[in-house]
Amino acid sequence: MPAMLKVPVTADDHIQGNEDAPITLLEYGDYQCPACGYAYPIIKRIQKHFGENLRFVFRNFPLTEIHPLAEIAAETAEFASDYNRFWEMHDLIYENQPRLSRITLIELTNHLQLPTAELEDALQKGKYQDKIKKDFIAGVRSGVNGTPTFYINGIHHNGPFEYEDLISAIEQSIAI
């Protein structure tokens, strides 16, 4: 029996695409994880392939013991979300992953013309840590133990995440 998503998608999640799409692809990701960085353009291609038939959901799962910048990157994305710029920041962080640093995150915030002083204050106060922890705990409850972890319509995708593999898994899930 495949693992199931234990915490359903809600309006509190970061959702991209048609809300009523027949396919929901959910990723538990870590902004510093090389495999998540590898998966990022694959997900973009999958979104393009399925168009309005797919909604993509991203939840934070920073593996801070091996990726010390994952938490601050997630906090920066959550900060951008307060300005309705989550997806822009999400994309910029992955596109700049090889040079990820606190300075890079400030530069990206500046690039999006968001107030960097407010970001610094939010980071210092841990303003977004509860949201990130909530995502993380939801992932643990669903059996996530690494990143990226994908769920297709609530069912854990326990296979490769190459483009062709995910396309096939998604097509199989909607044929059921």
Domain ranges of the chain: 30-146
CA distance linking residue 28 with residue 21, whole number of Å: 19
pLDDT tens digit sequence for 61-108: 999 999 999 999 999 999 999 999 999 999 999 999 999 999 999 999
Cβ atoms 80, 112 nearer than 8 A: yes
Give yes or no for residue 14 having a pLDDT over 80: yes
Mean pLDDT calculated for residue range 15-43 = 97
Q: Where are the alpha helices (DSSP H) in the chain?
A: 34-50, 70-81, 86-95, 102-111, 116-125, 129-141, 163-175
What's the pTM?
Answer: 0.97
pLDDT at residue 36 in the model: 98
pLDDT at residue 175 in the model: 77
pLDDT at residue 174 in the model: 86
Contacts of 108 (CB under 8 A, 6+ apart): 76, 89, 92, 93, 96
pLDDT at residue 1 in the model: 65
Mean pLDDT, the chain, rounded, equals 96
pLDDT at residue 176 in the model: 59
Q: How confident is the model at residue 147 (pLDDT cuts 50, 70, 90)?
A: very high
Considering only 2-11, 49-58, 79-88, 108-117, which range has the smallest mean pLDDT?
Answer: 2-11
pLDDT tens digit sequence for 161-170: 999 999 999 9
Q: How far is CA 69 from CA 45, 100, 122, 145, in A?
A: 26, 8, 16, 18
Give yes or no for residue 113 having a pLDDT over 70: yes
